[in-house]
Structure 1
Amino acid sequence: MKRALVLRHVDYEGIAGYREPIEAAGYAIERVAAHHAGCAKLDTLSPDLLVVMGGPMGAYDTDKFPWLEDEIAVIRRRLAADLPILGVCLGSQLIAAALGADVRKGPVREIGFAPLSLTDAGKAGPLRHLDGVAMLHWHGDTFDVPAGTDLLATTASYAQAFARGRNMLALQFHAEMGEDERFEHWLTNDVAEIAEVGETPEALRAAHDRLGPTAVAAGRAMIGEWLAGLAN
């Protein structure tokens, strides 16, 4: 059986809705707490798939979280080998940093459901499943699209997805968050950020109940198609 290694940065940022298509594609999932594992020693080359999940820190917060530099280095090694890698939110920002792009605080915080604007490249690949579907956004950081990659999707203020060939996919948004207690953790712990964008936990919960299942179903279709097209 193939191996998928999931790097987590906090316990409540797991693979969530992406677990189903990854397991359906024949992968056994292993989870590692990257911030506890001694990132410099992580073997990110032998797994068949590497998934880098989200977290509340920024890719630039290396003074507060020195292990981020080691994580970026091991991600860079995998990218250099052109082995399959998926990044989600912080994971996408770490991939951007590993490819030499600038990662920084964004112009506004983006929290809530909104559709993506797909580029022609996005419409031609697995992200086509997301066309017209409201996706969950929960971030305040952004990045320059790395050289040598294709921009796949945007919102008004953010690049939302990019890819390099068939083996690398980076997603800023959250198509993995379905009926999961982790969403409740976000509502409870990000109260100030929610208020900053003029939302309330109650309104976000109602939107999640209404829009989340469709978003997750589209996200699963996207990941399934991407996995089927991997070059390795």
Structure 2
Amino acid sequence: MINTESLPKTIYAIQHLAFEDLGSLEDTFYQLGFRVRYFEAGVDDLSPALNYEGLTIILGGPIGVYESEDYPFLVDEIAGLKQRLTANKPTIGICLGAQLIAHALGAKVYAGHQKEIGWGLLEIKADEPNILSPLKDTHVLHWHGDTFDLPENATLLASSDIYPNQAFSIGNNILALQFHLEIAEQSFEKWLIGHTCEIRHAGLSIPQLRQDNLCYAAQSEQQSHKIMKKFIENIRL
């Protein structure tokens, strides 16, 4: 049964890039009876989202956690996140959000040996229960160049052929996903427009990425709904 009675009915999301929003997860949360409120990193005061007792989701973006000299707002964001994780408040990080969680937990975050952009399968770790089990044999969207070491006391949930640390959890309340579980088939074109420089620099085919989205996004959306439903059920306040 969904933990709707004790969990506050608004989900807070911190954005680092306008078109990297909650995507298909927004519909999932609405179906489960939640509202959504966004905070814009670098513009808004993030402390209400980082201090929030309910679920806060930290979304992706093209900057690195180590670029605080150029993006000073990261200093306060990381400090607030450290306090949040210490208090075991329900938190999900996606891509940059996952890297911020890893960094806040004391793990090293750094530039990887190659970009991982496009749809691919994950190796879902066999340890049960694994909240990402629905993603077995499901292509997910990768879009990152940085990676991270596994934080102390974290449970590794998934790997890819390129990067071993694709997802981890700490207890029931903290989930970090390097890949983009939130991607929505209908809004993928925004990614192709917004990331055109990165795509071309990596030598990737925009028509192929578009075609792969048509092939894989619908199944990813279906499985993401199951995962988010289970995560909310498992939250312990």
Per the normalisation by structure 2, the TM-score is: 0.91
Counterpart of 1:218 in structure 2 is 223
Q: Is the 8 A contact 1:93 1:142 kept in 2?
A: yes
Distance in 1 separating the partners of 2:174 and 2:81: 11
Distance in 1 separating the partners of 2:72 and 2:105: 19
Q: Does 1:32 align with 2:8?
A: no
User: Aligned to 2:132, what secondary structure does the other structure show?
Assistant: helix
Counterpart of 1:13 in structure 2 is 20
Q: Is the 8 A contact 1:4 1:47 kept in 2?
A: no
Counterpart of 2:52 in structure 1 is 46
Distance in 1 separating the partners of 2:49 and 2:16: 16
Q: Does 1:101 align with 2:81?
A: no
Q: Is the 8 A contact 1:86 1:168 kept in 2?
A: yes
Q: Is the 8 A contact 2:13 2:49 kept in 1?
A: no
Calculate percent identity across the aligned residue pairs.
Answer: 34
Deviation per residue, 1:59-85 (Å, 9 max, x gap): 111111010111111111111111100
> Which amino acid in 2 is paired with 1:185?
K
User: Aligned to 1:108, what secondary structure does the other structure show?
Assistant: strand
2:150 aligned to which of 145, 148, 167 = 145
The runs of 5 or more residues in structure 2 that have no matched partner are 1-7
CA positional deviation for 1:34: 2.0
Q: Does 1:194 align with 2:207?
A: no
Number of equivalenced pairs: 229
> Which amino acid in 1 is paired with 2:217?
G
> Which amino acid in 2 is paired with 1:4?
I
Which moves more between the two structures, 197-206 or 155-164?
197-206
Distance in 2 separating the partners of 1:102 and 1:77: 18
Deviation per residue, 1:140-170 (Å, 9 max, x gap): 1100111111010011221110000000000
Distance in 1 separating the partners of 2:126 and 2:117: 25
User: Aligned to 1:227, what secondary structure does the other structure show?
Assistant: helix
CA positional deviation for 1:209: 0.9
- Runs of 4 or more, structure 1, over 3 Å off, are 195-198
Q: Is the 8 A contact 1:16 1:180 kept in 2?
A: no
2:172 aligned to which of 144, 166, 176 = 166
Which moves more between the two structures, 201-210 or 187-196?
187-196
Per the normalisation by structure 1, the TM-score is: 0.93
Counterpart of 1:133 in structure 2 is 138
Sort the Cα spacing of 1:30 and 1:225 in 2 relative to 1 into closer, same or farther, 3 A: same
> Which amino acid in 1 is paired with 2:15?
R
Q: Is the 8 A contact 1:110 1:137 kept in 2?
A: yes
CA positional deviation for 1:198: 4.0
Deviation per residue, 1:13-62 (Å, 9 max, x gap): 111111122233332211111211134x4452234111100111111111
CA positional deviation for 1:199: 2.2
Q: Is the 8 A contact 1:62 1:68 kept in 2?
A: yes
Distance in 1 separating the partners of 2:41 and 2:196: 26
Deviation per residue, 1:79-117 (Å, 9 max, x gap): 111110011111000001110111111111011110000
Sort the Cα spacing of 1:196 and 1:155 in 2 relative to 1 into closer, same or farther, 3 A: farther
Note the aligned Cα RMSD (angstroms): 1.6
Q: Does 1:74 align with 2:89?
A: no
CA positional deviation for 1:191: 3.0
Q: Is the 8 A contact 1:162 1:169 kept in 2?
A: yes
